Amino acid sequence: MTIFVDTWGWLALADPRDACHSEAAECYREYGKRVGGVVTSNFVLDETFTLLFRRRPFEEALRFSAGLLESQYIRIESVTEQRFKRAYELRRRFFDKPRISFTDLSSMAVMMELKIFDILTGDEHFSQVGLGLRRIPAR
């Protein structure tokens, strides 16, 4: 089993006071039992680190981000030029959903390519786009 972790998931995991922290931590423990069971992207981590260092004390944010980068259980996929173009195709396809960020579209492109259908996120649009993606935790 493999799960893609969105910015929402990382931020919920990073903050023990977050209302969804316990659910996110349980999910992460379940999928993180094997090497590579947790997948994210460089775009997601860019967004995550930007928000994390704004919201949390510096040392805490540094510790959490270093843990992500050093973990053997997390596979970081790069949004390559080909994936970027696929995300752009999705942007055009979902013209009626302008609130979906390009980072989320790039996540969808990576997930479709790797056939990952579970995503740790609170963003409803992942389950609303008709790509068969399942939000974890389901709400």
Domain locations in the chain as residue ranges: 3-136
Check residues 39 and 31 and name the one with the higher pLDDT.
39
Q: Say how far apart CA 61 and CA 50 lie, in whole Å.
A: 10
Identify the pLDDT of residue 53: 97
Give, for 21, the enclosing helix (H) or strand (E).
helix 21-31
* pTM score of the predicted model: 0.93
pLDDT tens string 54-64: 999 999 999 99
CB-based contact 39:5 (threshold 8 Å):
yes
Hunting for tokens 């409803």 — which residue is that?
A: 124
Confidence of residue 36 (pLDDT cuts 50, 70, 90): confident
Cβ atoms < 10 Å from Cβ of 38? 23
CATH architecture of the domain 3-136 equals 3-Layer(aba) Sandwich (3.40)
